[in-house]
Structure 1
Amino acid sequence: MSISQDTLTGVQWHEPVEGLEFGETFLGGIASTYLGRGRSIGYAVYFTDRRVIGVRMRLLTQALLAPYIVVICILYILTLLEIRSTVPLFGFLPLIVIGVDYGLRIPTRRLSERIVSRRGNDIVRSLRGKKNFEFSRTEIDEFLMKSPPPGLSLGSKGYLKITPKSSQVHPLEIKIYGWKQGQKLRDLVISFSSREPKVKALEYP
């Protein structure tokens, strides 16, 4: 059987992604320090046309934040020892701690976010590693999402709740601490849930 060149026109060939099933299409994913599950931050969520997969980035995030934590802890210890010192400089230690904390937190978080996001782009490595959860399309009853507000709102966060059809499996919740990350995750949920067979997706106002 021969296939003409005209027949091939318009056909889109997709590079196979290692770790996916035959015929499975990768829709996209997000890895960020602004996502988390439980008490830890650093999480990745991947969507294919058949599955939703969650991967923890906790160890990588903790390793990146370790120098910042060490510096702050040392300064706090020095502050506690302040009352035993007569050196005038030590009277300013509480202010120094606050200043260093503020000065290091933002660049450290940005650097961590950049590295975690880059690590998350290595789809093959992420899918080969230990998965935190994996649901097929037919196992999911619904998505419920609440996006965090735009801008810097201290203490406010959103979430993505995935409820399985099986009553023996507990719903899981992914915390969202950034508006941009919430919007990207929202787009991925819409792309996944709108494909056949469709999955119910709700958004909390």
Structure 2
Amino acid sequence: MPGLEWREPIEGLEFGELFLGAITSTFFARGRFSGYGICFTDRRIIGFRMRRVALILKTPFVAAIGALYLVVILETLSGTALLALLLPLVLHLANWPITILTNRISENILSRKALGPSKLLERRRDLELRRNQIEELLMKSPGKGRNLLRSGGMGGYLKITLKDYRLRKIEIKIRGWNQHQRLRDLVINFSSREPKVRALEYP
């Protein structure tokens, strides 16, 4: 019939629940380790820890960097003066592009997991919050600048304040500017639906 749109049902949703979108990224973290996924519906916010996936993806690249360090140590111990001077410089120059390449590849693979919401919703959930449990959503954008320590720019966050003030705020750290913008769109979509949730943003 004209005017009707067929949507493939998503496993893990309640009857009549509308899927708004999901994002998984190595540039998100809850706690010390990177790798996190967030799913938004018109009723809930669902979070997933993805740190194991992120660590598995980065392991080969970390091993390559470790091998370079081992070569430097062995050559330094061998007493070859010229190599002892040059290898640390080579290692430093190689470490930067390897780190960038590692982040990009692992991010591309992990971000694709959000394209299959049914599989994402099958994962073990780190948090599950209903709309009526949430008092406020507060976002701070990460800086656009890059430096040697933070390839994704200075850190931002999403803080979720619950109506039950006995519970601690939930903070999801954000390092990437593009990832922040995508998450921001989902937060706006979620918060603007009835009953509305207060959403604020720091510049």
Structure 2: runs of 5 or more not aligned = none
CA deviation after TM superposition for structure 1 residue 91, in Å: 2.9
Q: Is the radius of gyration larger for structure 1 or structure 2?
A: 1
SS in 2 for 1:10: coil
2:158 counterpart (157, 160, 163): 160
Question: Aligned partners of 1:91, 1:187: CA distance in 2, in Å?
Answer: 50
CA positional deviation for 1:39: 1.0
Structure 1 residue 178 and structure 2 residue 190: aligned? no
Q: CA deviation at 1:81?
A: 4.4
Give the Cα separation in 1 of the matches to 2:184 and 2:47. 15
Counterpart contact for 1:53–1:131, Cα < 8 Å: yes
RMSD of Structure 2 on Structure 1 (CA):
1.7
Report SS of the residue matched to 2:4.
coil
**Mapping for residues 28-107 of structure 1, pairs under 5 Å:** 28-87=21-80, 88-107=82-101
Q: 1:30-62, CA deviations, whole angstroms, 9 ceiling, x for partnerless residues?
A: 111111111111111110000001111111110
Task: Write the letter of the residue equivalent to 1:121.
Answer: L
> Are 1:201 and 2:199 matched, yes or no?
yes
Q: Deviations over 1:147-171 (max 9, x none)?
A: 1123435461110001111123211
Name the CA distance, whole Å, in 1 between partners of 2:130 and 2:27: 25
Q: Any idea what SS the aligned residue of 1:20 has?
A: coil
| Pair 1:134 & 2:128 matched | yes
TM-score, normalised relative to structure 2: 0.90
**Residues 82 and 91, structure 1, Cα contact 8 Å, conserved in 2:** no
Determine the C-alpha separation between the residues in 1 that align with 2:66 and 2:201.
40
Could you give the per-residue CA deviations for residues 69-104 of structure 1, whole angstroms, max 9, x where no partner exists? 112223324434454212342332211211221121
- Count of aligned pairs: 198
Aligned to 2:106, what secondary structure does the other structure show? helix
User: In structure 2, what residue type is equivalent to 1:59?
Assistant: R
Output the CA distance in 1 between the equivalents of 2:180 and 2:48. Answer: 17
Q: TM-score of the superposition, structure 1-length normalised?
A: 0.90
Question: 2: CA distance between counterparts of 1:122 and 1:41?
Answer: 21
Q: Distance in 2 between the 1:16 and 1:96 partners?
A: 53
Alpha-carbon distance in 2 for matches of 1:142, 1:82 = 56
Give the deviation of 1:106 after TM superposition: 1.4
Determine what percentage of the aligned residue pairs are the same residue: 49
Q: Which blocks of at least 5 consecutive residues in structure 1 are unaligned?
A: 1-7
